[in-house]
Copies of this chain bind each other. A is one copy, B any other.
Amino acid sequence: MSLVIVGTVAFDAIETPFGKTDKIVGGAATFAGLAASYLYDQVKLISVIGEDFGDDNINILKSRGIDVEGVEIVEGGKSFFWSGKYHNDMNSRDTLITELNVLADFDPKIPASYQDCTYLLLGNLTPQVQMQTLDRLAQAPKLVVLDTMNFWMDVALDDLKKVLQKVDVLTINDAEARQLSGEYSLVKAAEIILQMGPKYLIIKKGEHGALLFGEGQVFSAPALPLADVFDPTGAGDAFAGGFIGYLAKVKTINFTNMKNAIIYGSALASFCVEKFGTEQLQHLTAEDIKSRIQKFIALAKFEISE
């Protein structure tokens, strides 16, 4: 039994109102893998990097017990690089540089040791690579979670719809849910999207929390109000990693556990944004996570008895 995450392992250069970084480690699979590693101990990544990535950076993953056998290193290649600048509200950003580099020809390889995949997170990538990953697993995983974004709805909608038919959970933001469904109301959007294949839909609303739809139910998870959001990069990926990591840990897939998984995902995301890049996700303790979960419980709890 393992949790396999396919996605980018990359370099980011980030500017926020709080400061600026040179190239630092980023990528959806990196954030998701680190987040998941606090909840489950069999986390395995599938990705592609260049020779420039370097052992020190690989060790950030390895030191969290993450299996990187499936992270292909392209000789002479350069790693995917993204650079962005966040606006003052931290909810919008400009992409300054996108260099696909080795990601342009990403052909996901599944090591034999990954064929025990029980939980699969298809990180935000071309729907074609997401489908290839699924196709190359000998057995269908028990749970497939897919993350995507508006870009793929614009340029690869048909491919995206094909892979949606094969996933259990879709995570997108509210604008993307509206785009994918053509409905403004998130309730109506969820109805339409759940007919596209996923059994569960998670709508991420950033500082406004997240909604879970499925089994005819709906759950509203709060986001932790933070005094400072230092760098939002990777928050959605940390959320997805925490989410699937929790489900891998508890093993039973149902609405009740999905709700808790969303709280764990939200907690990991809340740590992620407190420092630049993966910094905060590298050194959490079990106590950190436990006390953050307690904050979420206090934040949302009310008792009405009549």
Contacts and interface: CB of A to CB of B under 8 A. Distances in A.
Nearest to A295: B218
A88 B188 CA distance: 15
Given A290-B306, A297-B304, A302-B300, A225 B220 contact: yes
A178 to B, nearest CB: 9
A211 B185 contact: no
Interface string A224-248: 0111110000000000000000000
Contacts of A188: 227
Interface residues of A, number: 40
A263 B300 CA distance: 11
A186 interface: yes
Contacts of A186: 207, 225
Contact of A211 (B220, B225, B303): B225
The complex is assembled from copies of this chain, and their number is 2
A79 to B, nearest CB: 33
Contact of A219 (B90, B211, B229, B302): B302
A94 interface: no
B187 A227 contact: yes
Contacts of A57: none
Contact of A187 (B205, B211, B226, B297): B226
A156 interface: no
Contacts of A256: 302-303
A298 interface: yes
Interface in A250-306: 256, 259-260, 263, 290, 293, 297-304, 306
A299 B220 contact: yes
Given A209-B220, A222-B222, A299-B219, A227 B185 contact: yes
Contacts of A62: none
Contacts of A221: 302
Contact of A263 (B205, B260, B298, B304): B304
A263 to B, nearest CB: 6
A220 B304 contact: no
Interface of A: 88-90, 184-188, 205, 207-209, 211, 217-223, 225-229, 256, 259-260, 263, 290, 293, 297-304, 306
